[in-house]
Structure 1
Amino acid sequence: MDDSELGFAGVARQAELVRAGKVTARQLTEAALARAERLDPRLGAFRTLRFARALAEADACDAGRAEPGSEGLPLLGVPVAVKDELDLAGEVTTFGGAANTTPVDRDCEAVRRLRAAGAIVIGKTTMPEFGQWPFTESAAHGYTRNPWDTSRTTGGSSGGSAAVVAAGVVGAALGGDGGGSIRIPAACCGVFGLKPQRGRVPTAPHPHLWYALGTLGPLTRTVRDSALLYDVLSGPAAGDRWTARPAPTGFLRAASTEPGRLRIGWSAKPAVRGVRPHPEHVGALRETVRALRELGHDVREIDPHYPDTTAAFLPQFYAGVRAEARTVDHPELLERRTRQVVRASALVPEAAVAWAMRHGERLAVRANRVFDGPDLLLTPVLADRPRRIGALDGLGMTGAMLRSLPMIAYTGLWNVTGNPAASVPAGFGRDGLPLAVQLVGREHDEATVLQVAAQLEAVRPWADRIPELARAPH
């Protein structure tokens, strides 16, 4: 297996090869770093690469393979990347901007769990400042480009993570989702991205990520790899503000189990008024309905009767950005748009944020009535096709918010409610860019989402499609 094949093998397969002694952690890490060095000048997806440290960690992994217990590590020797809002010891957590300059001294809990499972973090991926926008563009780090067409956006805010997985640099990269920030870039880049139930993955050392809105999770090429990562990442930690209900079985086991005949409701109706979905997204939705029916499910069009979540979402968004902006070393270096958001957040006292969270809980009850009949909800992920690079150029806070609406029209609701929701690849549009659909599950039910996503992956495999950029010779 050559370096290119290794890059697209996925984390589960890579770990199997290391455990079997067919490849070393150093070989995997060298290959990932070489691909990053070759591809990132065109992608702009890494904020930083850890050449010396990652190779040293790979060597330590290889040296320790004979130690008792190491053979059972699920991510043994596997290179991964993490979004630049996650603390990685010895590196600066920039939140996508230039205002932080001090390296942190310890890993956040999610990164710690990755490393404890044997993974090697090769670098930190790009994001818009504080993850505010569904386009991975920032004044400090420039544009992040889609591997399928470098004139187009990766989406955001976990756009760097999506790009490096789609391009086969790593098999998995951590992201965060406060309004669609895992699902949107997964849809733009043609990879699998599951936003977990709120509280499934700890945000420590922070008690929350944008209050009730934010979650952490991986972007991967396959459903199996996502399930494996969630087995590693899931579970409570000290200081968590929210904790998900324990899963009845492991996620990898769930993803490998047939779900039986399910009731699935589908709708092309956006949860944001005034937004119309692109016809190709509706077409991908209808094709997925057909595939699910052929798999034996009872699939029917429904009206979800979405509640308006604006009054719950916006106060938490403003307060979340404000809280993160207060932690930076040089607030004068924040982007103009971010400074506008921080100024606007002065109109949102903590009492208003507490009300917004309570209001979100009431809205969650209403939104979850959609599952009184169906076991899952199927929708588009995006209303728009991926925009050209420069989507945020010249825009202030209000303009950026308006431009973001078609990108979050199907995703943001489920951050308010906390439900698990996944972006599942669904072919390609006439523009050559990926299409995707969203599977939304009942509260705490990632397992059913994974099961049905795995069924769709089996009947229309997507992981064998590779961007031309990633096929280019060395």
Structure 2
Amino acid sequence: MELLWAGAYEQARALREGSVRAPELLDAVLERLHAVNPVLNAFRRVYDSAREAAEAAQARIDAGESTPLLGVPIAVKDDIDVEGDFTAMGGPRQWPDATADSAAVARLRAAGAVLVGRTLTPDRCLWPFTETMTYGATRNPWNTDYTPGGSSGGTAAAVAAGVVGAGTASDGGGSVRMPACATGVFGLKTSRGMVPLAPSRELWHGLSGLGAIGRGVADAAAVVEVMAAQDGLVGAVAAPPQPLRVALVWGTPVGRPPMSEEYRRAVADTADRLRDLGHRVTETSTPLGARPSPQFMTRYLRGIADDVASLPHPELVEPRTRRIAALGARIPDRVLARVRAAEAGLHERMAGFWADHDVILQPGWTRRPTRIGRYHGSGASTTLPPVAVHVSYFPTWNVLGYPAAAVPVAVDSARMPIGVQLIGPADSERLLLSLSGQYERAHPWTDRRPGL
């Protein structure tokens, strides 16, 4: 069915107009899922309840109801609770089946989204690749020798392969943006606190939050609009922004990392395209210096330690996860508190920057994502340093809690996607969606399909 490639927004429109019925659309999704999942390994579980949900959604459509996702099949990343299923986060069962939906999932259900199944993550959502000892490797539909990124790799692979038009994702250090860039789809990391995390209070000491991945900008916007219960996000996609002051920032808190020439050129070309759209793009740097790096590492390591310590069976996590958790457990409460308090100073430094700039343009990955199996069996010390170099542009914005969009802009010599980041100040999702939508209309990507 051609509608599978149209994305969640167009699927919702087709359902409203009656050109397709929700059970029929679900049938097409499941047929595609069962055809490609044996190769991609994107889903841990497919829900039998999806059929009943599709029929209920169609009844609501027939009654004249409308929501951004009514009757639309959606994938749910395996890191938030879904009633009747356990939350695996890339590992063996640790908890009983959830007795209630997480707040975000409950809002998706209330809006009539059809939850198709659970998409895979790395162990405890730690890595920019989605490979585990429990579930194996999730593969990139553009080239199955490569990872789709992580930790939202299952969702990104499913969307890029035309299984679903959108899905939930989360981002504690780039986990929405890394897989979106790696698979040629759009991802939106939301501002801290925009989407409720209940029953959790916060994740990784404020680093992580929920977002969405979609084939196009409006697809992810629809998911976030529902999860955040904020009207107007989808509408912002179609409304072009006024000319913006875009800061092209090549630096990171650890300096300017080595970058593949293809990836550097893709960012420079994106800057030129934004200029052609009427925006002023200037190369500059942020006033943050190296400060975000210790902020991130302290909260990341301690967050992992606290997560693993909360598990009923911490011995079941992978050995390198246990090693990182052991490092994080050595961080005293007083150090964590001091680091959390220091975030205010970063926001003060950025206040002047945002007075002069509206949006930041930065690279995504610094080179093609890793091959499947590259870090299989590696320990923490032989995994974390090399992968960090390739994804060093992502974590700063988790420390600050800013929203960020991952936008597909090019393909490399192996026909693998390349994406960039657009970052704004807190609560600037509508601006980022507006700019991303404008870019998408001028340089569309949703008609590109992997050969899988």
Q: TM-score, normalised by structure 1?
A: 0.91
Q: Distance in 1 between matches of 2:437 and 2:5?
A: 18
1:55 to 51, 54, 72: 51
Secondary structure, counterpart of 2:206 in structure 1 = coil
- What amino acid maps onto 1:392 in structure 2? Y
Q: Which moved more, 1:314-323 or 1:189-198?
A: 314-323
Map of 1:22 onto structure 2: 19
Paired with 2:202 and 2:390, the residues of 1 have a C-alpha distance of 24
- Report SS of the residue matched to 2:194: coil
Kindly provide the amino acid, as one letter, of the partner of residue 413 in structure 2: R
Moved more, 340-349 or 109-118: 340-349
CA distance in 2, matches of 1:444, 1:348: 31
The counterpart of 1:191, out of the listed 161, 166, 185, is: 185
Residue type of the partner of 1:387? T
1:256 deviates by: 1.7
Counterpart of 1:219 in 2: which secondary structure?
A: strand
**Is 1:104 matched up with 2:98?**
yes
Query: How far apart, CA to CA, are the structure 2 residues paired with 1:380 and 1:181?
Result: 15
Taking the aligned partners of 1:304 and 1:98, their CA distance within structure 2 comes to 42
Report what 1:425 is aligned to.
408
Give the one of 337, 350, 354 matched to 2:320. 337
Structure 1 counterpart of 2:429, which letter? E
* Residue 448 of structure 1, aligned match among 426, 431, 434: 431
CA contact (8 A) 2:75 2:166 kept: yes
CA contact (8 A) 2:138 2:153 kept: yes
Contact 1:135 1:391 in 2 (8 A): no
Contact 1:255 1:450 in 2 (8 A): yes
* Structure 2: runs of 5+ lacking an equivalent: none
Aligned-partner SS, 2:418: strand
Partner residue, 1:33: 30
What amino acid does structure 2 have at the position aligned with 1:318? L
CA distance in 1, matches of 2:330, 2:210: 28
Tell me the CA shift for residue 115 of structure 1: 1.0
When structure 1 is superposed on structure 2, of 316-325 and 439-448 the one drifting more is 316-325
- Per-residue CA deviation, residues 259-293 of structure 1 (Å, 9 max, x unaligned), is 11111111322333372122111101111111111
1:289 to 2:237 alignment? no
SS at match of 2:200: coil
| 1:279 equivalenced with 2:273 (yes/no) | no
**Matched residues in 2 for 1:461 and 1:396: separation?**
40
Local SS of the residue matching 2:432: helix
Partner AA of 1:415 in structure 2: N
The 2-side partners of 1:199 and 1:167 are apart by 30
What's the CA shift for 1:142? 0.9
Structure 1 463/93 Cα, relative in aligned 2: closer, same or farther at 3 Å? Answer: same
Distance across 2 between alignment mates of 1:311 and 1:115: 39
The CA deviation at 1:328 is 3.0
Q: CA deviation at 1:163?
A: 0.4
Residues in 2 aligned to 1:384 and 1:79: alpha-carbon distance in whole angstroms: 32
Give the counterpart of 1:351 among 314, 334, 342. 334
Query: Pairwise mapping of residues 384-395 of structure 1 onto structure 2 (< 5 A)?
Result: 384-395=367-378
- Uncovered stretches (5+) of structure 1, i.e. residues with no partner: 236-246, 470-474
TM-fit CA distance, 1:319: 2.4
Matched-pair contact (CA < 8 Å) for 1:420–1:446:
yes
Residue type of the partner of 1:290? D
Q: 1:223 aligns with which of 200, 217, 241?
A: 217
> 2:205 is paired with a residue of what secondary structure?
coil
Which residue in 1 is equivalent to 2:399?
A: 416
Paired residues for 1:234-273 under 5 Å: 234-235=228-229, 250-273=232-255
Once the two structures are TM-superposed, the CA of residue 15 in structure 1 deviates from its matched residue by: 1.4
**How many angstroms does 1:403 deviate by?**
2.1
Do the aligned partners of 2:169 and 2:176 also contact (CA within 8 Å) in 1? yes
SS in 2 for 1:463: coil
Mapped pair 1:299 → 2:281:
yes
Displacement after TM superposition at 1:60 (Å):
2.5
Give, in angstroms, the shift of residue 391 of structure 1: 2.9
- Determine the C-alpha separation between the residues in 1 that align with 2:381 and 2:342: 24
Q: Quote the residue 1:45 is aligned against.
A: 42
Select between 190-199 and 254-263 the one with higher mean Cα deviation: 254-263
Identity percentage over the alignment?
Answer: 39
Aligned equivalents of 2:335, 2:22: Cα separation in 1: 49
Are 1:116 and 2:137 an aligned pair?
A: no
1:121 maps to amino acid? L
Distance 2:225 2:450 in 1: 29
* Cα drift, residue 104 of structure 1: 0.8
Count of equivalent residues: 451
Structure 1 window deviating more from structure 2 (417-426 vs 384-393): it is: 384-393
- Which of 379, 393, 402 is the equivalent residue of 1:396? 379
1:264 is paired with a residue whose SS is strand
1:369 is displaced (CA, Å) by 4.0
Report the CA distance between 1:64 and its aligned residue: 4.1
Contact 2:87 2:93 in 1 (8 A): no
Answering whether residue 203 of structure 2 is matched by residue 209 of structure 1, we say: yes
Name the aligned partner's letter for residue 275 of structure 2. R
Q: What is the rounded CA distance, in whole Å, between the counterparts of 2:414 and 2:348 in structure 1?
A: 39
Q: Which amino acid aligns with 2:283?
A: E
Q: Is the 8 A contact 2:120 2:138 kept in 1?
A: yes
TM-score (norm 2): 0.96
Deviation at 1:6, TM superposition (A): 1.7
Aligned-partner Cα distance in 2 for 1:363–1:43: 40
What secondary structure is seen at the aligned counterpart in 2 of 1:88? coil
Q: Indicate if the aligned counterparts of 1:307 and 1:363 stay in contact, CA closer than 8 A.
A: no
Q: Distance in 2 between matches of 1:211 and 1:81?
A: 26
Task: Tell me if 1:232 matches 2:226.
Answer: yes
Deviation at 1:348, TM superposition (A): 1.5
Q: Distance in 1 between matches of 2:312 and 2:30?
A: 30
Partner of 1:153, secondary structure, is coil
What residue number does 1:382 align with?
365
1:7 and 2:4 correspond: yes
CA distance in 1: counterparts of 2:37 and 2:369, whole angstroms: 20
Contact residue 62 and residue 77 of structure 1 kept, 8 A: yes
Map of 1:129 onto structure 2: 123
> Secondary structure of the equivalent of 1:299?
strand
